[in-house]
Amino acid sequence: MLAEATKFEDECLAELSRAADPAALEAWRTRVLGGSGSLKSLMGRLRDVPKAEKPAVGQHLNGVKTRLEEAFEARRAELASRGASGPAIDITEPGTPPPDGRRHVLTRTIDEITEVFGRMGFTVAEGPEVEDEWHNFTALNIPDGHPARDPTDNFYMGGEGAGEGRRLLRTQTSTVQIRALEKQRPPIKIIACGRVYRPDTHDATHFSMFHQVEGLCVDRGVTMVDLKSTLFHFARAYFGEEAEVRMRPSFFPFTEPSAEVDMKMKVKGEWKWVELGGCGMVDPNVLKAVGVDPEEWTGFAFGLGIERIAMRRYGISDIRWLFENDARFLRQF
Ligand code: FA5
């Protein structure tokens, strides 16, 4: 009986390996593994085996059964992967499109801002996020010992000693005014968008990392009128034809005179003045720091918070949502 079972197994496996299409495979399955198939009738004969041999023969027959079933599954998988059981996928069906990626709402805002200023003739400049004290402070007329340099208001990198050698995460994009003027002599008309860092406590309108757009225009005869009209055109182009700009006197070490910029825009259906940043006429000391003669050249500069702009434009009421990376939120824009 044992020898017969082995012979049966060998023959079945040989037949199975000749089954080359789904119909032949199914015929083999019915003939061998089916309810009234040959395996069943072989196993039925266990009844006639003498009692003493039953356990060994029974175990052997179970092994035959398992091996035949496994061989069948393996053969079926093999044929399917070869495409013999018909194509595994229907290539005429429309596919499942992968989900579309999209720009983050801040990236989109930066692109839009760049486009508006680009139309006004501003080119794009860049500077590093890890800065030295010269570009972040000294050249911007913020001397040693100035409270703005306080370690509690800045992210300094390691302790390489005091003075111009120390590095820090830039606190404002005004650093790019200096970088641009070091590279290019006036006339110059640039904007710079990028990340800045401040140890501010997080709340609905403040984050410790945020973005600014810096603008700088240095030429002969540039006045405050140019500054205001530039901001005015930006406001109209970006927030709509009814938007307005207001300047409130303020102080920045690198501009004189200086002002806060507010824009009037619709917030939830109501017109409101919203503070977006600072601006002013480039301080003569800044021009001197980069070797530009303030008697010949004058300029204006501004720096606006990009999150604040995006929040107003897209009706986002909490800055923290911009940085949580929750796709359900980001998908809306
Ligand atoms: C400045 O950073 C100046 N460099 C702006 C400037 C440039 C003045 C050129 C003159 C000439 P201020 O610290 O006010 O200014 O920041 C500008 C804007 O950044 C703020 O109005 C606000 O919109 C945004 N901002 C400031 N702190 C945060 C913060 N923690 N989170 C989000 N946005 C902020």
CB of residue 279 inside a 6 A radius of ligand 1: yes
Q: Sign (positive/negative) of CA torsion 106, 112, 113, 118?
A: positive
Number of residues in the chain: 333
Contact 328, 128 (CB under 8 A): no
Mean pLDDT per 10-residue interval, the chain, length 333 residues: 90 92 90 92 90 90 93 89 66 85 95 98 98 96 94 84 76 98 97 98 96 98 97 94 94 98 84 92 98 98 97 93 94 92
Q: Which of 172, 206, 321 for mutating ligand 1's site (highest number of atoms within 8 Å of CB)? A: 172
Do you find a cis peptide bond into 187, omega within 30 degrees of 0? yes
The pLDDT of residue 159 is 60
Q: Report how far ligand 1's centroid is from the alpha carbon of 260 (Å).
A: 9
The pLDDT of residue 175 is 98
CB of residue 278 inside a 6 A radius of ligand 1: yes
Contact 8, 38 (CB under 8 A): yes
User: What are the backbone angles phi and psi of residue 324, rounded to the nearest 5°?
Assistant: -85, -10
Ligand 1 atom showing the smallest separation from residue 258 Cα: 10
Q: Report how far ligand 1's centroid is from the alpha carbon of 109 (Å).
A: 17
Residue nearest to atom 20 of ligand 1 (CA): 277
Do you find a cis peptide bond into 257, omega within 30 degrees of 0? yes
Q: In what order do the strands lie in the sheet with 130-132?
A: 130-132, 167-169, 156-157
CB atoms within 10 A of CB 270: 7
Q: By three-state DSSP, how is residue 300 classified?
A: strand
pTM of the model: 0.74
User: Left if phi > 0, otherwise alpha if psi is -120 to 50, otherwise beta: which for 326?
Assistant: beta
Cα(206)–Cα(275) distance, integer angstroms: 13
Q: By three-state DSSP, how is residue 190 classified?
A: strand
The pLDDT of residue 84 is 52
CB of residue 307 inside a 6 A radius of ligand 1: yes
The pLDDT of residue 20 is 87
The pLDDT of residue 8 is 92
- Calculate the alpha carbon distances from 304 to 6, 33, 103, 193, 208 in Å: 85, 77, 21, 9, 16
**CB within 8 Å of 263: residues ≥ 6 apart:** 231, 235, 239, 243, 244, 245, 246, 273, 274, 276, 312
The pLDDT of residue 166 is 87
Provide the 8-state DSSP code for 199. -
Would strands 188-197 and 123-124 be described as parallel, antiparallel, or unpaired? parallel
The pLDDT of residue 86 is 58
Cα(176)–Cα(190) distance, integer angstroms: 9
Residue nearest to atom 32 of ligand 1 (CA): 206
CB of residue 280 inside a 6 A radius of ligand 1: yes
